[in-house]
Amino acid sequence: MHESHIIKPINKGVVHRICAGQVILDLSSAVKELVENSLDAGATSIEIALKDYGEEWFQVIDNGCGISPNNFKVLALKHHTSKLADFPDLQSLTTFGFRGEALSSLCALGNLTVETKTKNESVATHLTFDHSGLLVAERKTARQIGTTVTVKKLFSNLPVRSKEFSRNIRKEYGKLVSLLNAYALIAKGVRFVCTNTTGKNVKSVVLKTQGNGSLKDNIITVFGMNTLNCLEPVALCISDSCKVDGFLSKPGQGSGRNLGDRQYFFVNGRPVDMPKVCKLVNELYKGANSRQYPIAILNFTVPPRAYDVNVTPDKRKIFFSEESSLLQALREGFQQIYSPNNACYSVNKVE
Ligand code: ADP
Ligand code: MG
């Protein structure tokens, strides 16, 4: 039999580190949070710089609205946000962030510094935070309007995660590039650049887009014209308030790679995991082409009240209130594209 032990509260710093490890799972979830903050700040240019594939440090540089000096002290405190004030607001959110957890979690798991300037300041400020999210140093610096967030030595104080991170660094990096592709595809009018600098100071450009105004143009920049030519535009009305649009591989012109490769799903422009939709698309495509997987880039436009994104800490999972009817409508719509009898492979276009 086990001995009975005294129940006592866990030290606050330890709780912080435990919870932070659930919000920031890996390199891509860390960078994702920073990119989403930049998008929420209205940036039209977002640069992601990695040192040694992010293992040494990574940085997200934006030209967004910047952070006002009134917010410096509370910026990286847990559950401090400028985006959500009350619980009902969750139903009408249009921002990526709302829980005020990312910066505080990054503080707990690495060394966080921020440089920022709003249009109201004549000079920028450089801020240093400790592991509990407290502002510990502040100095003036030179910078245009916007924000740069730098994270050094992510996971250095989570030994197991840190080892995994080093061991899987190339895989992590691949996942990150795929995630950045997702934002570069869906964000309209936002320029993305991602660079990686290796030990010997060799800098390579991983991703570079111009910030085009349409998904189609973004596909051309991210994947090239040849890929676009293999895709069929999709525009389906699922219901009065729900529609899906994007691109799917034409039958016989799939990517031929692995399942999930170049398959991107978005809800109101937020990249998410949609395993059931993903399964459906692959299953239907198989009927038309059993040798390859389709490229899928699909955005669901739904009212904010019709889904819940507050399901997992990384906000990749979605609960739909009408999921089964949505899947049924999709099945019917996609069947038209992948039906062997359909010569033109077109679907009902949304007017
Ligand atoms: P959340 O995004 O959920 O609010 P975060 O921890 O990611 O929480 O960010 C905390 C706050 O810091 C945000 O609400 C926002 O006010 C500010 N912030 C973070 N990053 C930026 C940025 N790049 N530009 C402007 N403000 C930012
Ligand atoms: Mg955020």
Distance 282 CA to ligand 2 centre (A): 32
**Residue for token digits 């062997």?**
340
pLDDT at 341: 62
State how far the Cα of 257 lies from the Cα of 253, in Å rounded to an integer: 11
Residue 310 phi, psi dihedral angles, 5° rounding: -85, 55
Q: 83 alpha carbon to ligand 2 midpoint, in Å?
A: 9
Interval between CA 333 and ligand 1 midpoint (Å): 39
Which ligand is closest in space to the CA of residue 99? 1
Residue to mutate (ligand 1; options 46, 47, 70, 82; most atoms within 8 A of CB)? 82
**CA pair distance 342, 191, nearest whole angstrom:** 38
Measured in angstroms, how far is the CA atom of residue 98 from the centroid of ligand 1? 9
Question: Given this model, what pLDDT does residue 287 score?
Answer: 84
Locus of tokens 């991170």: 165
Say what the pTM is.
Answer: 0.90
Nearest CA to ligand 1 atom 19: 37
CA 146 to ligand 1: nearest atom: 24
pLDDT by 10s per residue, the chain, length 351 = 577 889 988 888 888 888 888 888 899 999 999 999 999 999 999 999 999 999 999 999 999 999 999 999 999 988 888 887 777 767 777 788 878 889 999 999 999 999 999 999 999 999 999 999 999 999 999 999 999 999 999 998 888 888 988 899 989 999 999 999 999 999 999 999 999 999 788 999 999 998 888 999 999 999 999 999 999 999 998 888 889 999 999 887 877 667 668 999 999 999 999 999 999 999 988 888 888 899 999 999 988 888 787 777 777 777 877 788 888 888 988 887 777 565 444 444 333
Nearest Cα residue to 277 out of 261, 292, 297:
297
Strand partners, 299: 245, 266
Strand ranges, E, within the chain: 45-51, 57-62, 111-117, 124-129, 135-141, 146-152, 191-197, 203-208, 231-237, 243-249, 263-267, 270-272, 296-301, 307-308, 319-320
State the pLDDT at residue 348.
Answer: 40
Q: What are phi and psi of 227, to 5 degrees?
A: -65, -45
Could you tell me the sign of the dihedral formed by the alpha carbons of 177, 178, 179, 185, in that order? positive
Element (H, E) at 225: helix 225-229
Give the span between the Cα atoms of 9 and 132, in whole angstroms: 17
Ligand positioned closest to the Cα atom of 98: 1
Domains detected in the chain: 12-208 (3.30.565.10), 230-338 (3.30.230.10)
- Count of residues in the chain: 351
Contact 297, 6 (CB under 8 A): no
Q: What is the pLDDT of residue 342?
A: 55
- How many whole angstroms from 97 Cα to the centroid of ligand 2? 4
Residue nearest to atom 8 of ligand 1 (CA): 100
pLDDT of 228 reads: 95
Give the residue, by CA position, lying nearest to ligand 1 atom 9. 100
Q: Which residues line ligand 1 (CB under 6 A)?
A: 33, 37-38, 41, 62, 64-67, 75, 81-83, 97-104, 147
Return d(Cα 217, Cα 274) in angstroms, integer. Answer: 24
Tell me the two tokens of residue 324.
Answer: 């089964």
Residues, Cβ < 5 Å to ion ligand 2: 37, 97, 102
Coil, strand or helix: which one is 250? coil
pLDDT for res 344: 43
DSSP 8-state assignment for residue 58: E
Residue 53 CA to residue 206 CA, distance in Å, equals 11
Q: Whose structure tokens read 């509260």? A: 9
What ipTM, to 2 d.p.? 0.99
Cα(221)–Cα(208) distance, integer angstroms: 8
Measured CA to CA, the distance from residue 294 to residue 281 in angstroms comes to 8
Q: Report how far ligand 2's centroid is from the alpha carbon of 257 (Å).
A: 33
Q: Measured between alpha carbons, how far is residue 225 from residues 183, 216, 306, 335 in Å?
A: 19, 10, 35, 26
